[in-house]
């Protein structure tokens, strides 16, 4: 069916004129930058001369900076010659960081919150806190949760608030430990990140964390020694603290055999293994009836000032 068109439009081009259409050869034209400028080659030479002068000035400035740095380095070296030996050692330890075993805490105050039961106080925490206070500016506080009652006075003051008279603001401290006496079972819990709220369970793991703050190179210096320490720490946390009577008796025999040939559990001096094992024996009531070798070792631990402070807390 034919219809009536609504409107008519004049053709834009005629079919007969298609061969006469001039098509563009490019979208746009651009001046050829590779040709010499219209004013001749002298202008190009002048441009090269100005660029060379700028490069020479930059090189001269760099040489001046290097000379100033060399002079500053020589001045610092001359000043170090007049410093006391203790200050030199401290500067060397700071420069090398964890490589020489010197503990470093940088940045804002590190907050640690520990929940523990007063019926089984983590004595290794008190020992490590005394050692931490010798290296860092520490702030300690103790709180009692409503889930527990009749907390001994000594445990309420166990961290001693570690406040120095020359430090007033919280930002002046490097490490802040908050201990909350709470009904937590079977072992203490530590929160070291308020953002993630991820707890670390067990006195052994809490001691490991604090021990690595004291000695950041704990794992790197001697992996074999670190493994031996972890073995005794695991034994204290699982078989002595949480084990049954049979497991505790087996651990005590291993402990007595080891101490029959060595003064300390690992190496020739006090380590984290001694702290955690000593704490476990006291918490489980085995400290009084231990074999001769273990008794001699426990006396050596008791002679240490940090152990004495922890022991007084349990007797108050």
Q: What is the mean pLDDT of each run of 10 residues along the chain (316 residues)?
A: 71 64 72 61 53 81 85 81 53 39 58 90 92 88 88 83 56 85 89 76 92 82 86 92 90 92 91 94 88 93 91 76
- The reported pLDDT for the residue numbered 272 is 94
Quick check: bond before 186 cis, omega within 30? Answer: yes
- The reported pLDDT for the residue numbered 86 is 42
Please write down the long-range contacts of 251-254, taking CB distance under 8 Å and 24 or more positions apart.
252/286, 252/290, 252/291, 252/294
Q: The tokens of 157 are what? A: 């003051």
User: For helices 245-259 and 292-302, what crossing angle results, to 10°?
Assistant: 80
């Amino acid at each position: 069916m034919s219809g009536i068109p609504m409107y008519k439009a004049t053709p834009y081009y005629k079919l007969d004129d298609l061969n006469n259409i001039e098509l563009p050869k490019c979208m746009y034209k651009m001046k050829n930058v590779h040709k010499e400028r219209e004013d001749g080659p002298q202008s190009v030479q002048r441009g090269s001369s100005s660029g060379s002068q700028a490069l020479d000035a930059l090189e001269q400035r760099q040489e001046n900076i290097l000379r100033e740095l060399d002079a500053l380095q020589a001045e610092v070296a001359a000043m170090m010659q007049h410093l006391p030996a203790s200050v030199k050692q401290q500067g060397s330890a700071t420069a090398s960081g964890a490589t020489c075993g010197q503990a470093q805490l940088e940045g804002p105050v590190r907050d640690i919150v520990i929940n523990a039961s007063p019926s089984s106080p983590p004595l290794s925490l008190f020992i490590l806190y005394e050692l931490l206070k010798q290296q860092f500016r520490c702030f300690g506080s103790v709180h009692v949760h409503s889930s527990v009652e009749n907390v001994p006075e000594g445990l309420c003051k166990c961290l001693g608030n570690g406040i120095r008279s020359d430090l007033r603001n919280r930002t002046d401290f490097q490490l802040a430990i908050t201990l909350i006496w709470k009904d937590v079972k079977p072992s203490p819990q530590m929160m070291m990140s308020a953002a993630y709220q991820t707890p670390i369970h067990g006195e052994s793991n809490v001691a490991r964390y604090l021990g690595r703050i004291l000695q950041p190179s704990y794992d790197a210096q001697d992996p074999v020694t670190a493994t031996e320490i972890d073995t005794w720490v695991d034994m204290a946390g699982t078989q002595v603290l949480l084990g049954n009577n049979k497991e505790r008796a087996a651990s005590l025999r291993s402990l007595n055999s080891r101490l029959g040939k060595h003064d300390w559990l690992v190496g020739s001096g006090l380590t984290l293994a001694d702290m955690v094992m000593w704490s476990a024996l006291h918490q489980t009531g085995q400290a009084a009836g231990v074999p001769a070798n273990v008794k001699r070792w426990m006396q050596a631990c008791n002679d240490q000032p940090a152990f004495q402070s922890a022991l007084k807390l349990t007797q108050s």
